[in-house]
Chains A and B, each alone.
Chain A
Amino acid sequence: MKRSILSAALAIAAFFPSAAMAAEEAEGHGSWLTLSFFVINFILFAFVLVYFAGPPLRKFFGDRASNIHANLAKSEEALREAEQLARAAAERIAGLEQEVAGLRQDLESETKFQVNRVLELARANSERIRRDTQATATALADNAQRRVRENLAAVAARLARDLISRHLEAADQRRLIEGFMDKLGQEARR
């Protein structure tokens, strides 16, 4: 059907221009035939246009409408989310003072804790250093005392040896032998 309509339209379009031209030549100015030719020509043009360009245009506009709808839905969703975020931000802003106060309190307590910890460490370190220093000082003092005692003992022993070697008499030697004999006697009785 469509094919036959199309073929008829094409035949008329091909045939009537020459007829129209012939009429114009005969009558000079516009006539009903010319007008009807233009009308039919336009109708054919419009028909061809609608017939061929219509479906793609419909599809294009349908797709376009779907896209617009989808975009609208997305926009609405984004708007909803933005509103939600804005509400959350507003709520947060409202609770910000409280949060800041909480943070400040946390910070203060943490600072206090750290300060106390540092103080405690410093105290422990100073105590350790004090103990070490005391131990070192004691050891040095003990060492010095020991050396002094040893030196004194060595000097005293040297003096004693000098004195004894100069003043030992036969009676002293006898007395020493007596003492030695007592020692031997004790050993013999064991």
Chain B
Amino acid sequence: MKNTRVAKRYARALIELAEKSQVEKWGAELEKLAAIVDSPELESRLASPELSLASRQEAMAKIAEKLDLSFPLRSFAVVVARHGRIDEVSAIAEAYRDLVDEMLGRERATLTFAVQPTAEETERVVAGLEAIARKKIIPTIKVDKELLGGVVAELGGKTYDGSLAARVAEARLKLAGHA
């Protein structure tokens, strides 16, 4: 989900409450909460107009308790429900994660490999990206056979394409006389 202004406001409020040592823990808890709230069966029930505000708050409090979230996160879940922003939890988690990354001087990158990479391969690529961003990189690893071979990295809105699929596409364009 895209970071909305509302989500950013909630995320900023939460991060301002957290100690520096807690931000990552709270982030992980928020991700857990978002994952549960976003599950199809819960999402439809929580969004149902038949559910009263009090019931919604109660449901969120129970979910937070079951997830064994820390006290501030339980309160946060209830506050979100009280303000009718349950459908924004995922966006809040995302916005929170971006803020934490910014605070800790790190950046996220998506690495897509053609075949399952070894740990060493992942580390090397991450190191390469860190050299470019001059920040710590938190990678998200994906595997896509359509790449045929090589790897594609997405970092800060920029794509570094080292896949064979891209080379084949380029060769095809050249052969067709378009390049």
Cβ–Cβ contact B151 & A152, under 8 A:
no
Cβ–Cβ contact B145 & A165, under 8 A:
yes
Cβ–Cβ contact A177 & B150, under 8 A:
yes
B130, closest chain A residue (CB) = A188
Q: Does A156 contact B (CB under 8 A)?
A: yes
Cβ–Cβ contact A173 & B168, under 8 A:
no
Cβ–Cβ contact B176 & A146, under 8 A:
yes
- Give A184 to B117 CA distance when docked, in angstroms: 17
Q: Closest CB of chain B to A176's CB: distance in Å?
A: 4
- Give A188 to B134 CA distance when docked, in angstroms: 9
Cβ–Cβ contact A177 & B169, under 8 A:
no
Residues 169 to 184 of chain A near chain B (Cβ within 8 Å): 170, 172-174, 176-177, 179-181, 183-184
- Give A173 to B125 CA distance when docked, in angstroms: 13
Residues from chain B with Cβ under 8 Å of A172 in the complex: 149
Q: Does B63 contact A (CB under 8 A)?
A: no
Q: Does B164 contact A (CB under 8 A)?
A: yes
Q: Closest CB of chain A to B120's CB: distance in Å?
A: 10
Q: Closest CB of chain A to B116's CB: distance in Å?
A: 10
Q: Closest CB of chain B to A174's CB: distance in Å?
A: 8
With A160-B171, A173-B150, A183-B160: A149-B177 Cβ-Cβ less than 8 Å: yes
- Give A156 to B172 CA distance when docked, in angstroms: 7
Q: Does B128 contact A (CB under 8 A)?
A: yes
Cβ–Cβ contact B125 & A176, under 8 A:
no
Q: Closest CB of chain B to A183's CB: distance in Å?
A: 6
Q: Closest CB of chain B to A123's CB: distance in Å?
A: 37
Residues from chain A with Cβ under 8 Å of B128 in the complex: 180-181, 184-185, 188
With A168-B114, A173-B114, A173-B115: A180-B151 Cβ-Cβ less than 8 Å: yes
With A168-B114, A184-B131: A177-B162 Cβ-Cβ less than 8 Å: yes
- Give A182 to B174 CA distance when docked, in angstroms: 24
With A165-B148, A177-B121: A149-B132 Cβ-Cβ less than 8 Å: no
Q: Closest CB of chain B to A77's CB: distance in Å?
A: 95
Q: Does A135 contact B (CB under 8 A)?
A: no
- Give A181 to B168 CA distance when docked, in angstroms: 19
Residues 134 to 178 of chain A near chain B (Cβ within 8 Å): 146, 149-150, 152-154, 156-157, 160-161, 164-165, 168, 170, 172-174, 176-177
Interface residues on B, range: 20 to 34
Q: Closest CB of chain B to A159's CB: distance in Å?
A: 10
Residues 115 to 129 of chain B near chain A (Cβ within 8 Å): 115, 117, 121, 124-125, 128-129
Q: Closest CB of chain B to A154's CB: distance in Å?
A: 7
- Give A176 to B152 CA distance when docked, in angstroms: 11
B128, closest chain A residue (CB) = A184
B133, closest chain A residue (CB) = A188
Q: Does B6 contact A (CB under 8 A)?
A: no
Q: Closest CB of chain B to A12's CB: distance in Å?
A: 146
B134, closest chain A residue (CB) = A188
Task: Show the binding face of B for A, using Cβ within 8 Å.
Answer: 113-115, 117, 121, 124-125, 128-129, 131-132, 145, 148-151, 153, 160, 162-165, 168-169, 171-177
Beyond the given A168-B148, A177-B124, could you list 11 further A-B residue pairs with CB under 8 A, ordered by the A residue number?
Answer: A146-B177, A149-B175, A153-B172, A153-B176, A157-B168, A161-B148, A173-B113, A173-B115, A174-B121, A184-B160, A188-B132
Task: Show the binding face of A for B, using Cβ within 8 Å.
Answer: 146, 149-150, 152-154, 156-157, 160-161, 164-165, 168, 170, 172-174, 176-177, 179-181, 183-185, 187-188
